[in-house]
Amino acid sequence: MCGIVAYIGNKQAYPIIINGLRRLEYRGYDSAGVALHNREDGNMHVYKRKGKVQELVDFVKKKPIESTIGIGHTRWATHGKPDNINAHPHLSGSGRLAIIHNGIIENYDSIKKALIGEGHSFTSQTDTEVLIHLIEAIQERDNLNLEEAVRVALSQVVGAYAIVIMDKENPNQLIAARKASPLVIGIGDGEFFIASDATPIVEYTQKVVYLNDEEIAVVNRDGDLTLKTIANELKTPFVQQLEMNIEELEKGDYEYFMLKEIFEQPTSITSAMAGRINAGEGWIKVGGLMSTYDKIAAAKRFIIAACGTSWHAGLIGEYLFEELARIPVEVEYASEMRYRNPIIGTDDVIIALSQSGETADTMAALEMAKKKGATLYGIVNSVGSSIARITDAGSYIHAGPEIGVASTKAFTGQVTVLALMAINLGYERGRIPRSYYLQLISELERIPEKVQTILEKNDQIKFIAGEIKDISNALYLGRGYNFPVALEGALKLKEISYIHAEGYPAAEMKHGPIALIDENMPVIIIANNKSAHEKIVSNIQEVKARKGQVIAIVTEGDTVISEIADYVIEIPETDEPLSPLLSVIPLQLLSYHIALMRGCNVDQPRNLAKSVTVE
């Protein structure tokens, strides 16, 4: 949450920063701001605006922007309401230093009180302004240079931060540091780019250094990069090559990233399988799994930790691992797991699912499990992210950048990798016969083309969306593998259309939600399970008997449900363990169209953000 972009070099900083902030808007869009240093007047120009980056751009028109150094920020508010004053950058007491910050300084209140006691006054309600005042106070009190003062100040703060600091009196240097919030430095030709992720950097350079926790980087206009820890230990920067291309970051012909990402799924699911499956030769090999095979095969239990949509993918993982590999699984909300005192030991494997690889709660749950000696496995989209780095082994889902705040292709990528792992383990552990193994492999390979046929029903799904767009509530029901899909369908609708929606196991309906059903309550039933077909038909009858409107996701040719449901969306037949990969697609499209018809910003839903680096 919160996006950071900074530049130093010989190009104009402002367009680079604005371009980068637009790329990082998925991390928050409560306000945006920049600080630029004008060489001619020697001043630091700070422009900040409540709202999206475009508000800032409109505000800055005709203002001086000449500068070859600058810092910029797009905010997701934590301390202090979203307004022009609380927008970053924030200035030190003298106005000499400017800072941008992603994270939370937890002990800011006590530091603030002490600084007020020393005569400081603050203009904003933010923890960030407190930090930059502290840095300047230390600099003046101890007569330190800026880098030293940053180091001393950071050793006093508790919490999470990714920061970049610019000094009006030294416009040839930027100082950056991180702890529990991501920061990456792009190394160009005599120039540096600093950002929360690589998306603002990739069009300028492929060479990057990911900062580790408690590292401070000093970049100078002369091309010098120095890396130290907060304990003042010199580090050698580990330069990596980016695997990302610029087209992946553009909307192309699509109106919204979310729609683009929904339509990318035949490709992204294929990428998740690439090199890991071969139906012709009849094998699945998941590299990360093989590298930790002994520990994983000996595991007493898998604990899947995740948040949001990734948690829903994790629930499907539970069904997959238990049914196919016969490994006991628990699925944990990472935010709960980290604060309980769960019984975790060296026989446990923790599987973290995360699109961003930066979610603070998931990261903290992993750190806790690591201390308890568990093996950590990551299923992550963002290459080089914190979760990818802390885990002992893992599998990238290779979905490419996901920019729409509501996750779509990352979900199917995660489920694909979980299915590959479960089938692989099930066969290696002798829990599924070769015939079923081969059947699942060939079926998995056909999933992308089946997803494509569902995407071709977009107009039909849009029509249904039009019929129900004015609803205030919706109930999503599913059984077995499709119960987590019901949760995910409900979450998608909530997130982007602000309609209240709940997901339930279909059979649980009679223990509560059935009381809500009347002619105004559409019930979306995922009814493509082979095993529980009659039971689902009964559930639909129960809804119809109470005048509920039924939208059913059914397997092609299901005449029984077609006759009783108000609307049906047919999807191709597949093996039940793989069915979520198909049944979720119409639900993504349904939410998308409903939200669009209600005038919502589908890519940037209110109050939400991606890469949730705060608790």
Using CB under 6 A, pick the residue from 584, 612, 613, 614 that binds ligand G6P: 612
CB of 405 to ligand G6P, least distance (A): 5
CB of 606 to ligand G6P, least distance (A): 12
Question: Which residue lies nearer to ligand G6P by CB, 441 or 585?
Answer: 585
The residue count for binding ligand G6P (CB under 6 A) is: 15
Q: Is 367 within 8 Å of 350 (Cβ atoms)?
A: no
CB of 567 to ligand G6P, least distance (A): 27
Q: Kind of pairing, strands 234-235 and 375-380?
A: unpaired
Question: Which residue lies nearer to ligand G6P by CB, 309 or 539?
Answer: 309
Question: Which residue lies nearer to ligand G6P by CB, 205 or 414?
Answer: 414
Residue from 48, 52, 112, 610 carrying the catalytic annotation: 610
Residue 308, interface with ligand G6P (CB under 6 A)?
yes
Tokens 């948040």 locate to: 307
CA distance 464 to 568: 9
Question: Which residue lies nearer to ligand G6P by CB, 186 or 314?
Answer: 314
3-state secondary structure labels for all residues of 240-293: EECCCCHHHHCCCCCCCHHHHHHHCHHHHHHHHHCCCEECCCCEECCHHHHHCH
Residue 405, interface with ligand G6P (CB under 6 A)?
yes
CB of 605 to ligand G6P, least distance (A): 8
Using CB under 6 A, pick the residue from 102, 139, 271, 310 that binds ligand G6P: 310
Residue 3, interface with ligand G6P (CB under 6 A)?
no
Instruction: Name the residue among 342, 345, 402, 332 with its Cα closest to residue 374.
Output: 345
User: 50: which DSSP letter?
Assistant: E
Residue 308: left (phi > 0), alpha (psi -120 to 50), or beta? left
Using CB under 6 A, pick the residue from 307, 351, 440, 521 that binds ligand G6P: 307
Residue 359, interface with ligand G6P (CB under 6 A)?
yes
CB of 308 to ligand G6P, least distance (A): 3
Instruction: Name the residue among 406, 418, 383, 449 with its Cα closest to residue 262.
Output: 406
Tokens 């600058």 locate to: 70
Q: Is 185 within 8 Å of 196 (Cβ atoms)?
A: no
What tokens were used for 286? 């998941």
Residue from 2, 168, 179, 492 carrying the catalytic annotation: 2
User: Which residue's Cβ lies closest to ligand G6P?
Assistant: 308
Binding pattern for the stretch 589-608 against ligand G6P, x by CB under 6 A and - elsewhere: -------------------x
Question: Which residue lies nearer to ligand G6P by CB, 517 or 612?
Answer: 612
Question: Which residue lies nearer to ligand G6P by CB, 320 or 379?
Answer: 379
Rounded to the nearest 10°, the torsion over CA 474, 478, 483, 484 is -50
Q: Is 150 within 8 Å of 178 (Cβ atoms)?
A: no
CA distance 606 to 59: 22
Q: Is 610 a catalytic residue?
A: yes
Residue 588, interface with ligand G6P (CB under 6 A)?
no
Strand, coil or helix: what is 460? helix
Residue 355, interface with ligand G6P (CB under 6 A)?
yes
Using CB under 6 A, pick the residue from 74, 391, 407, 412 that binds ligand G6P: 407
Instruction: Name the residue among 88, 84, 22, 6 with its Cα closest to residue 57.
Output: 22
Using CB under 6 A, pick the residue from 78, 92, 139, 356 that binds ligand G6P: 356
Using CB under 6 A, pick the residue from 92, 265, 309, 395 that binds ligand G6P: 309
Question: Which residue lies nearer to ligand G6P by CB, 124 or 362?
Answer: 362
What tokens were used for 184? 């990456």
Question: Which residue lies nearer to ligand G6P by CB, 35 or 600?
Answer: 600
Q: Is 256 within 8 Å of 262 (Cβ atoms)?
A: no
Listed ranges 38-46, 349-357, 365-373, 571-579: which one lies at the site for ligand G6P (CB under 6 A): 349-357
**CB atoms inside a 10 Å sphere around CB 66:** 14
Stated length of the chain: 615
* Greatest CA separation for the chain: 81
Q: Count CA within 13 A, CB hemisphere, residue 602.
A: 25
Residue 173, interface with ligand G6P (CB under 6 A)?
no
CA distance 246 to 203: 6
Residue 484, interface with ligand G6P (CB under 6 A)?
no
Q: Is 406 within 8 Å of 302 (Cβ atoms)?
A: no
The secondary structure of the chain in percent helix, strand, coil, rounded to multiples of 5, reads 40, 25, 35
Residue 362, interface with ligand G6P (CB under 6 A)?
yes
Question: Which residue lies nearer to ligand G6P by CB, 337 or 405?
Answer: 405
Listed ranges 264-272, 325-333, 353-361, 559-567: which one lies at the site for ligand G6P (CB under 6 A): 353-361
CB of 110 to ligand G6P, least distance (A): 30
Question: Which residue lies nearer to ligand G6P by CB, 147 or 361?
Answer: 361
Instruction: Name the residue among 359, 460, 462 with its Cα closest to residue 407.
Output: 359
Q: At 104, which helix (H) or strand (E)?
A: strand 97-105
Residue 200, interface with ligand G6P (CB under 6 A)?
no
CA distance 608 to 80: 16
Listed ranges 47-55, 189-197, 355-363, 444-452: which one lies at the site for ligand G6P (CB under 6 A): 355-363
Using CB under 6 A, pick the residue from 139, 268, 335, 354 that binds ligand G6P: 354
Q: Count CA within 13 A, CB hemisphere, residue 159.
A: 23
Residue 305, interface with ligand G6P (CB under 6 A)?
no
CB of 362 to ligand G6P, least distance (A): 5
What tokens were used for 252? 């192309």
CB of 186 to ligand G6P, least distance (A): 22
Peptide bond into 237 cis (omega under 30): no
CB of 75 to ligand G6P, least distance (A): 16
Residue 549, interface with ligand G6P (CB under 6 A)?
no
Q: Is 191 within 8 Å of 11 (Cβ atoms)?
A: yes
Question: Which residue lies nearer to ligand G6P by CB, 73 or 610?
Answer: 610
CB of 337 to ligand G6P, least distance (A): 13
CB of 205 to ligand G6P, least distance (A): 25
Binding residues for ligand G6P (CB under 6 A): 307-310, 354-356, 359, 362, 405-407, 608, 610, 612
The residues that are catalytic are: 2, 610
